Chains A and B, each alone.
Chain A
Amino acid sequence: MIRTARNHLSDLKKQLFGQSTARALFSIIVFVLIWELGSKSKDWFGFVTPWLGHVPAPTDVIKVWIGLLTDSSYWQSWVMSFLRVLAGFVTAMVLGIPFGLAIAVSRISYGIIFPSFEVLRPIPPLAWVPAAIIFWPTQELSIIFVTFLGAFYTIVINVLGGARAIDLRYFQVAESMGASKWDVFRRIILPGTLPSIMVGAAVGMGLTWEVVVAAEMISGGGGAVGSSGGGLGFFIWNSYVGGSYEQIIVGMISIGIAGFISSAGLRKLGELCTPWLRKR
């Protein structure tokens, strides 16, 4: 145990101070530097850098951001978006996994359900926004519905593909050894599909963030009035309308961070669920 803990520590050290870390830092520092110089070019050099000259400088963005850190409505936006993503994503998983498995294992259900599914699938989730606002009683539900759609199709397709790709021989082995239909489902199909479920979930999670932000912008932030209940998408939109360009950037970066946190969490969860795929 001590040995492995020590190994982990030295791995961590290598990761933190290794060459790739240095390169990553270099990349980010140069990027921010060019951005800063470009944005401040009018004050410092007397000319406006094309494109970059109209973007708020990183130092100004950070100043505004620090101001926002104590602003509860900013954090409220985070919470709102996270809740919507979570609601849409979890619903997509809860409905999508059984749905995908059902059409994977039964030729009849596949034949009946899949064609309709394929007709609906190419419709971009955002095209559903107006219809969703009409169909669902509250704006909140409309946004969650559209977010759900973003992940649902991807998860279903991955589950279906994953279940179908399971090696026929696993079924033959299980059948020879006396496994019942339920055993085959629980012990072969389910674990056999799990890696694909995780891939679908990762892609789906990315899509829910894309969709939730756009949906929040379009629907005006959902039922709650004002910027506090609108989520990060509405936060950006509101900043745009209010003319605070620094806040737009803060909102953009916040969404990036939020998406990163969700993906990282999901990846960790995926690793826990599929221990046999751990790096060896």
Chain B
Amino acid sequence: MNAAPGQLPRGAIRIEDAVKVYDPDGAAILAVDHCTLNIPAGEICMIVGPSGCGKTTLLNAIAGFHSLSSGAIYLDDQLLCGPGKPQADPGPERIVVFQNGALFPWKTNLENVAFGPIMQGSLSRVEAHDKARAMMADAGLEGVEHNYPGEISSGMRRRVEIVRALMNDPKVLLLDEPYRALDSLTKSVMHEALLEIYYKTKVTIFFITHDLEEAIFLGHRVVIMTSRPCKPKKLLEVDIPHPRNYSVLTTKRFRELMDETLEAVHEEALKAFSLGEKEG
């Protein structure tokens, strides 16, 4: 079902002049300010920005959880939301993997993974379970199928959640700081696992983080956002060839890219700090 290696990548996202104004109690807060961003199909696009800058607002607009105030978002040249349709319909071609994980605690890992296709009616229960079992085995998740998410490590949970997302055969994976709560050792394992999945599926990845190292290690491109209101401040092409593994971190080019971006990120972080933004 998933894009086989060599298959044409799909899932290009075009964000055009997106604006989001929150209006709690009449106090208009500009969260996203005329943001334009083109993500080609099959790209890993890393969004880096200070806490509370409005990155998640953008992700929610793509996913269809929130509306845009103006501007438009396209997926493969089809309008998701835009003039006359402020909020996109959530759909299985755009699946979010949340910050602290959102596996259903009352379903076993296998049931969680099999959830999407059963809901969409694309597979029968038995077929979905078979496919889920195969995909979990593929992702090194053998043996935890019948455990509940609460019974496995947080790193495992995150992996289960990504497999659950992939079961829907999405065009875009929307990851909202999925590895934030993990320790750095687990994180490194998760990164390589994610890349492995990416090389198999070539799914477009929209990945929010504020870990610059993570961003440069994973991404084809790193978009550094300004503190609120959020818009792209700097685009960094990461010219380290894929496939990558952790030895990349020690290369000279990696350090150079880090140095090149660190200042821009730090500047925005300071701004956000002085604005007193809450974490999260």
Contact = CB atoms under 8 A, between A and B. Distances in A.
B104 A191 contact: yes
A276 B91 contact: no
A240 B104 CA distance: 55
B181 interface: no
A1 to B, nearest CB: 16
Q: For the complex, would chain B's binding face be called helix, strand, loop or mixed by DSSP majority?
A: loop
B151 A177 contact: no
Nearest to B167: A177
A188 B106 CA distance: 9
A37 interface: no
Interface residues of B, number: 25
Of the candidates B92, B107, B115, the one having the most CB atoms from chain A within 10 angstroms of its own CB is B115
| Size bin of chain A's contact surface | 20 to 34
A172 to B, nearest CB: 5
B4 interface: no
A118 interface: no
Contacts of B104: 170, 173, 187-188, 191
Nearest to B105: A276
B106 A178 contact: no
B96 A275 contact: no
B9 interface: no
Contact of A176 (B95, B105, B151): B95
A172 B63 contact: yes
Nearest to A175: B90
Interface in A162-188: 167, 169-170, 172-180, 183, 187-188
B64 interface: yes
Contacts of B92: 176-178
Nearest to A276: B148
B119 interface: yes
22 contacts: A169-B98, A172-B90, A173-B96, A173-B104, A174-B115, A174-B119, A176-B63, A176-B90, A176-B91, A178-B91, A178-B116, A178-B119, A178-B121, A179-B119, A183-B119, A188-B104, A191-B104, A191-B107, A274-B106, A275-B148, A276-B148, A276-B149
Interface of A: 167, 169-170, 172-180, 183, 187-188, 191-192, 194, 274-277, 280
Given A177-B120, A187-B115, 11 more contacts: A172-B65, A172-B96, A176-B63, A176-B91, A177-B119, A178-B92, A183-B119, A188-B104, A276-B148, A277-B150, A280-B150
